[in-house]
A and B are shown apart, each in its own frame.
Chain A
Amino acid sequence: MRQSLWDPVVIAIALVLAIPVFVIVGNVFVPAGEVWQHLYSTVLSDYITNSLLLMIGVAIGSLLLGVTAAWLVSMTEFPGRKHFEWALLLPMAIPAYIIAYTYTGMLDFAGPLQTSIRELTGWGYGDYWFPEVRSLQGAAIMMTLVLYPYIYLLARAAFLNQSLCVLEVSRSLGNGPWKTFFSVALPLARPAVIAGLSLVLMETLADYGTVQYFGVSTFTTGIFRTWYGLDNAPAAAQLAAILLLFVFVLLTLERYSRRKARYHNTSRGQRTLGRFRLKGWNKLAAILICFFMLLFGFLLPATQLAIWAIDTAAEVIDEQFFSLVMHSLELAASAAILVLVIALILGYGRRLNPTPLIRSVVRIASMGYAIPGTVIAVGIIIPFGYLDNLLDSWIRNHFEFSTGLLFSGTIFALLFAYMVRFLAVSLHAVETGLERITPSMDEAARSLGCRPASILSKIHIPMLKSSLLTAVLLVFVDVLKELPATLILRPFNFNTLAVKAYELAADERLADASSASLAIVLTGIVPIIILNRSISSHGERSLGER
């Protein structure tokens, strides 16, 4: 493609993907009546405080877990490290609301653990203290447990790709492992860590299932309460617009804060830097940290799901179940590839020519990740319905036949929703990858007469391999878990695993929902293992071969 074509193509794609965001923001100008006065004087401060506290809690928790784990498995050596490397990604395959239901089932007042405590001791309600799972803190912990892998994944790739010279210099200057970590490795990994963190926070803001079940009123529950309960769709959209504004400011601040910093390596490492060999208490601590993350994030909930599934599988798994798995797989694979292609075009376009216009449209297009899926879905239903009806009446006038609805209620609408919702995931992975490639590489290729498209395919894509795989697989797993947009946009007679799991779980039939939930987890594990192999082999190569 010619240089001159990139800009209009990038802008056009970004604008189309930004349509749902514009539809939502467009509601700002629709008068919503007196409802704002009511919200302001009653529940709004709750929504804001709870959302903020939840974000702070999840941010602290997932940074601690994600960065620690990434550092341990990529830079140190301890028994079991190789297995923890991939196992620590597993919690990512569990939808947040499923882990919330599962822990509630185990730890709630009426659950088996507390019931046996009461039976053993003869205590009643109020006689003893037990942490309340279904609380704001509980919600923060649940989300931390399943969201830290985003940070872990991106931070680990960054640690593995770091120029070893830099680390070596740090160590030769007499810095110990801790000093090297805090003053060299972590600052260098910052774009990756921040990218992971912003994904985690956007996902936290968009969550509805967990907070709704836990009775925590956040911005998201507020949006739905205003829409469903107060029957005031404009006010609900205005709340969503505030949420968007919030995310926009957050993303802008993040970009601004590192406006001058550059993160690409000018030299690649020449040879393997030995991992820090942990000994004694340090070794034990590393093993225990990784083990407990795995235990609480995956082993416990998955075991509970498996126990329930054994009891109920016979009733739930029938010939239809297989088609659910296929639908989920097809959707996830198609969406992951589509989103990757778009993320590459947008990410590369922004690198080629980072004008303020291009940067802002791309940023707006990638904000869909922070909006609850149902709201995105409505932002798609409205313009698609409008377009369909417009086309239909135009064709009817000119050709005297009816096209009906061409886009609404098709897989196309669904895939479009995934593009809007998950572009951020793919784009973050692609961009952190691109940032590590020095622009002099582009310049050299350009001076040799390469066009941008061939630079992308000959130089960047091969160098970005692990970032691209990360992007594809993150979106794959996200689509597998995606519920609200799928629920409302899917065609007739089309179900996915997430829909099945949700319908049963929402009726508090958790045991019946476990087979579908477990199937989501199992389907998600395969790509996670592939992803891990690619990252570690890529990392090892960069450590060793050059």
Chain B
Amino acid sequence: MTNKNSWFKNSWLMNTWLVAIVVSICGIVSVPANALSEVKMPEAKIQEVNIYSARKEALIKPLLDKFTGQTGVKVNLVTGKADALLKRLTSEGMNSPADILLTTDAGRLHRAKMAGVTQAFQSKQLESAIPSRYRDPEGQWVALSLRLRPILYMKGKVDPAELSSYEDLANPKWKGRICIRSSGNIYNQSLVASLIAANGEAATEQWAKGLVANFARAPKGGDRDQIKAAAAGQCDIAIANTYYLVGMLTSSDAAQAAAAKKMAVFWPNQKARGAHVNVSGAALTRSSKHRDNAIKLIEFLASEEAQQWYAEINGEFPARIHVPVSEVLKAWGEFRADTLNLSRLGELNTQAVMLMDRVGWK
């Protein structure tokens, strides 16, 4: 039988684990030290700002680095899912280190405001740069980019004259021709919320039934996936946010770029309320300890330079007025976007999800 000595003497395996133990102890010991050093330092003197971001790192970090380069203010970032970050913010209460909450949809900005973790702030710059419909009426959050969700159609298979509105997609002529992702996705929830706002719940439910009957396949995958499926011939129409199409057009993956080139953008509902729009945006937290820097950063993200970056690199439309957009976006032409107050999307979100549950939109 293996005795005590051979267990301890036993070779390189034991050494490996000794190293692992030492590494882990160092890791654990260094943590409280960090935590303490943060407490002891007088907060006001550190030039920094802390962000909880639902926007993924790759899509925001370059801008934050630019801000640090220009102002010398260090930006600390945690990314994650919006509702989970919101939970963290709520539980941490007034001691939360976060100064800014960045989200990728208006509904979550609204939720944060309702949860009481944001505060109003004033900025002349933001007021003149961002149209009022893209700002919270009480000044608690501001939109930073517009996310349009038009109808994408397969060139040659669909005559754009056949297309008119989101409402029309429930028409039986589209049977088996539409690709759209699951109703678990916030962009679909917002789209349905905007339809409830425009047409009422009963009419929207009727519409959603028709739409589900027209699906080419059970919903799966993300927005890019719908575009790929359409390009491959699985359906004729894909509903997707425009920046995914831009991402595919400019992708280094030849197959993705080729698929995207087969698709064209149709701006629906142009005769009335306009195409569905959601926003990404920023809110100032109630617990913010670097208020000035936080506002400075939000102003920077709304500056002409940053807004142009959103359009060039992310393929989103700028929230700021009079910002030149990239060639790709320009090629899709002028359009009218829905002017519905964005808070309504948040308010109607639950109703929209229940409606989609009822009509069997997976």
Contacts of A415 in B (CB 8 A): 28
Rounded to whole angstroms, the CA-CA distance of A199 and B87 in the bound complex is: 29
Q: Please, could you name 30 A-B residue pairs with CB atoms under 8 Å apart, sorted by A?
A: A109-B232, A109-B234, A125-B233, A311-B253, A312-B252, A315-B252, A329-B23, A330-B23, A334-B23, A334-B24, A338-B24, A378-B84, A381-B91, A386-B91, A406-B35, A408-B91, A408-B92, A409-B88, A410-B32, A411-B27, A412-B31, A462-B4, A487-B81, A488-B84, A492-B78, A503-B58, A506-B56, A507-B58, A530-B13, A534-B13
Rounded to whole angstroms, the CA-CA distance of A65 and B323 in the bound complex is: 59
Rounded to whole angstroms, the CA-CA distance of A406 and B32 in the bound complex is: 8
Main secondary structure of the interface of B (DSSP, over half): helix
Contact B84 A225 (CB under 8 A): no
Q: For residue A123, which residue of chain B has the nearest CB?
A: B233
Contacts of B80 in A (CB 8 A): 487-488
Q: A213-B220, A214-B220, A385-B93 are in contact. Are A224 and B184 (CB under 8 A)?
A: yes
Query: Among the listed B28, B58, B76, B222, which residue makes an inter-chain contact with A508, where contact means beta carbons less than 8 Å apart?
Result: B222
Contacts of B229 in A (CB 8 A): 109-110
Contact A405 B96 (CB under 8 A): yes
Contact B95 A110 (CB under 8 A): no
Q: How far is the CB of B351 from chain A (nearest CB, A)?
A: 10
Contacts of A546 in B (CB 8 A): 1
| B14-22, B163-171, B300-308, B333-341 - interface stretch | B14-22
Contacts of A388 in B (CB 8 A): 92, 95
| A161-169, A228-236, A289-297, A350-358 - interface stretch | A228-236
Contacts of A104 in B (CB 8 A): 221
Rounded to whole angstroms, the CA-CA distance of A137 and B22 in the bound complex is: 44
Contact A508 B78 (CB under 8 A): no
Q: For residue B13, which residue of chain A has the nearest CB?
A: A534
Which 4 A-B pairs give the minimum distances between C-beta atoms? A385-B91, A334-B24, A215-B220, A492-B76
Would you call A212 an interface residue if the criterion is a C-beta within 8 Å of the partner chain's C-beta atoms? yes
Q: A134-B220, A487-B80, A546-B1 are in contact. Are A225 and B353 (CB under 8 A)?
A: yes
Q: How far is the CB of A42 from chain B (nearest CB, A)?
A: 4
Q: For residue A489, which residue of chain B has the nearest CB?
A: B88
Q: For residue B182, which residue of chain A has the nearest CB?
A: A215
Contacts of A385 in B (CB 8 A): 88, 90-93
Main secondary structure of the interface of A (DSSP, over half): helix
Q: Mark B236-257, 1 if CB is under 8 A from A, else 0.
A: 0000000010010000110100
Would you call A374 an interface residue if the criterion is a C-beta within 8 Å of the partner chain's C-beta atoms? yes
Would you call B34 an interface residue if the criterion is a C-beta within 8 Å of the partner chain's C-beta atoms? yes
Q: For residue A403, which residue of chain B has the nearest CB?
A: B39
Q: A213-B220, A377-B84 are in contact. Are A229 and B349 (CB under 8 A)?
A: yes
Q: For residue B256, which residue of chain A has the nearest CB?
A: A511
Contact A404 B95 (CB under 8 A): yes
Q: How far is the CB of B262 from chain A (nearest CB, A)?
A: 11
**Of residues A114, A212, A215, A374, which shows the largest number of chain B Cβ atoms within 10 Å of its Cβ?**
A215
**Total B residues in contact with A, Cβ cutoff 8 Å:** 82
Would you call A461 an interface residue if the criterion is a C-beta within 8 Å of the partner chain's C-beta atoms? yes
Q: A109-B234, A125-B234, A508-B221 are in contact. Are A503 and B28 (CB under 8 A)?
A: no
Contact A411 B28 (CB under 8 A): yes
Would you call A321 an interface residue if the criterion is a C-beta within 8 Å of the partner chain's C-beta atoms? no
Contact A330 B24 (CB under 8 A): yes
Rounded to whole angstroms, the CA-CA distance of A461 and B85 in the bound complex is: 42
Query: Among the listed A337, A382, A406, A534, which residue makes an inter-chain contact with B24, where contact means beta carbons less than 8 Å apart?
Result: A337
Contact A384 B91 (CB under 8 A): yes
Contact A462 B97 (CB under 8 A): no
Contacts of B186 in A (CB 8 A): 228-229
Query: Among the listed A268, A333, A405, which residue makes an inter-chain contact with B97, where contact means beta carbons less than 8 Å apart?
Result: A405
Q: How far is the CB of A477 from chain B (nearest CB, A)?
A: 14
Q: Mark A85-121, 1 if CB is under 8 A from B, else 0.
A: 0000000000000000000100011101011001000
Contact A330 B27 (CB under 8 A): yes
Contact B28 A462 (CB under 8 A): no
Q: A409-B92, A504-B58, A546-B1 are in contact. Are A110 and B83 (CB under 8 A)?
A: no
Given A406-B32, A493-B77, 18 new contacts (CB under 8 A): A213-B221, A228-B83, A229-B353, A334-B23, A338-B24, A377-B84, A382-B91, A388-B92, A402-B39, A405-B95, A405-B97, A408-B91, A462-B2, A488-B87, A490-B78, A494-B78, A499-B79, A508-B244
Contacts of A229 in B (CB 8 A): 183-184, 186, 189, 349-350, 353
Contact A487 B79 (CB under 8 A): yes
Q: How far is the CB of B108 from chain A (nearest CB, A)?
A: 9
Rounded to whole angstroms, the CA-CA distance of A381 and B39 in the bound complex is: 20
Contacts of B2 in A (CB 8 A): 462-463, 465, 541
Contacts of A458 in B (CB 8 A): 4
Would you call A336 an interface residue if the criterion is a C-beta within 8 Å of the partner chain's C-beta atoms? yes
Rounded to whole angstroms, the CA-CA distance of A409 and B220 in the bound complex is: 34
Query: Among the listed B7, B21, B27, B350, which residue makes an inter-chain contact with A232, where contact means beta carbons less than 8 Å apart?
Result: B350
Rounded to whole angstroms, the CA-CA distance of A490 and B81 in the bound complex is: 13
Rounded to whole angstroms, the CA-CA distance of A382 and B253 in the bound complex is: 43
Rounded to whole angstroms, the CA-CA distance of A404 and B287 in the bound complex is: 11
Would you call A2 an interface residue if the criterion is a C-beta within 8 Å of the partner chain's C-beta atoms? no
Would you call A392 an interface residue if the criterion is a C-beta within 8 Å of the partner chain's C-beta atoms? yes
Rounded to whole angstroms, the CA-CA distance of A462 and B14 in the bound complex is: 12
Interface members, chain B 45-64 (any A CB < 8 Å): 50, 56-59
Would you call A398 an interface residue if the criterion is a C-beta within 8 Å of the partner chain's C-beta atoms? no
Contact A230 B76 (CB under 8 A): no
Contact A465 B7 (CB under 8 A): yes
Q: How far is the CB of B283 from chain A (nearest CB, A)?
A: 17
Would you call A227 an interface residue if the criterion is a C-beta within 8 Å of the partner chain's C-beta atoms? yes
Contact A43 B357 (CB under 8 A): yes
Contacts of A268 in B (CB 8 A): 1
Contacts of A541 in B (CB 8 A): 2
Contacts of B344 in A (CB 8 A): none
Would you call A265 an interface residue if the criterion is a C-beta within 8 Å of the partner chain's C-beta atoms? no
Would you call B219 an interface residue if the criterion is a C-beta within 8 Å of the partner chain's C-beta atoms? yes
Contact A221 B92 (CB under 8 A): no
Q: For residue A504, which residue of chain B has the nearest CB?
A: B58
Contact A378 B87 (CB under 8 A): yes
Contact B223 A508 (CB under 8 A): yes
Would you call A259 an interface residue if the criterion is a C-beta within 8 Å of the partner chain's C-beta atoms? no
Query: Among the listed A38, A212, A412, which residue makes an inter-chain contact with B28, where contact means beta carbons less than 8 Å apart?
Result: A412
Q: Mark B67-110, 1 if CB is under 8 A from A, else 0.
A: 00000000011111111110110111111110000000000000
**Of residues A228, A403, A405, A489, which shows the largest number of chain B Cβ atoms within 10 Å of its Cβ?**
A228
Q: How far is the CB of A206 from chain B (nearest CB, A)?
A: 16
Q: For residue B28, which residue of chain A has the nearest CB?
A: A334
Contacts of B3 in A (CB 8 A): 462
Would you call A217 an interface residue if the criterion is a C-beta within 8 Å of the partner chain's C-beta atoms? yes
Contacts of B93 in A (CB 8 A): 385, 389
Contact A487 B84 (CB under 8 A): yes
Would you call A472 an interface residue if the criterion is a C-beta within 8 Å of the partner chain's C-beta atoms? yes
Q: A229-B189, A410-B35, A462-B3 are in contact. Are A503 and B79 (CB under 8 A)?
A: yes
Q: How far is the CB of B24 from chain A (nearest CB, A)?
A: 3
Contact A110 B184 (CB under 8 A): no
Q: For residue A42, which residue of chain B has the nearest CB?
A: B357
Contacts of B20 in A (CB 8 A): 333, 336-337
Contacts of A31 in B (CB 8 A): none
Would you call B224 an interface residue if the criterion is a C-beta within 8 Å of the partner chain's C-beta atoms? yes
Would you call A61 an interface residue if the criterion is a C-beta within 8 Å of the partner chain's C-beta atoms? no
Would you call B259 an interface residue if the criterion is a C-beta within 8 Å of the partner chain's C-beta atoms? yes
